[in-house]
Structure 1
């Protein structure tokens, strides 16, 4: 059994950011498809901006996102800071605020998660 925390930090501004997002979602799908693995998929920082974009059915990677969206969570503070808090709520994505409004990386490490950032 593997515990993996995939954290999407890439914003939406460049082609390389899109590449990082897709690589993160592909990695998340690989873990999600293995019933022995435990996955946390966290959109943090500028990465929170992807949620409303990926919720759009016309987005090229909507289906990939949908394959792991049940595992998705977002940084509460960052969703507000990047102006997507309403869209995150509308999408039904859980927000995490256990470390002064942010996800606790320390807690994930304490729970034996491997931290993978994209």
Structure 2
């Protein structure tokens, strides 16, 4: 049994960032599918830009995203800063604002989560 937070920081531009996203979603999916594991999937910084794309059923990564969406959240401040407020609201993904409007990585560490960033 593990407690893991997968944090997606990579934005939507470039092939490398797509690779980070795919690896993050696959990693999150593996934890989500393992009985007894606890998963937090956080879209933070430029990573919040992925949410509108992943919500699109025509996206190549839509199915991977759907497999872990119930465990997903997004930084409240960054959703606004990167212009995806409406898309995040429409997605139903929980918005985190526990540290000055941002998600709190420290609270995850304090709760015993291993944090993996992509």
TM-score with structure 1 length normalisation?
Answer: 0.99
Match of residue 5 from structure 1: 5
Structure 1 regions of 5+ residues with no counterpart?
A: none
Hey, what does 2:35 align to over in structure 1?
35
After TM superposition, what 4+ stretches of structure 1 lie above 6 angstroms from structure 2? none
Q: What does residue 16 of structure 1 align with?
A: 16
Distance in 2 separating the partners of 1:105 and 1:65? 22
Map 1:37-52 → 2, pairs under 5 A: 37-52=37-52
> What pairs with 1:25-104 in structure 2 (closer than 5 Å)?
25-104=25-104
How many residues of Structure 1 are paired with residues of Structure 2 in the alignment?
118
TM-score, structure 2 normalization: 0.99
Residue 35 of structure 1 and its aligned partner are, at CA, apart by: 1.8
CA-based RMSD of the aligned residues comes to 0.4
> For residues 23-59 of structure 1, what are the alpha-carbon distances to aligned partners after superposition, in whole Å with 9 as ceiling and x for unaligned?
0000000000012100000000000000000000000
Per the TM alignment, residue 98 of structure 1 is displaced from its structure 2 partner at its CA by 0.2
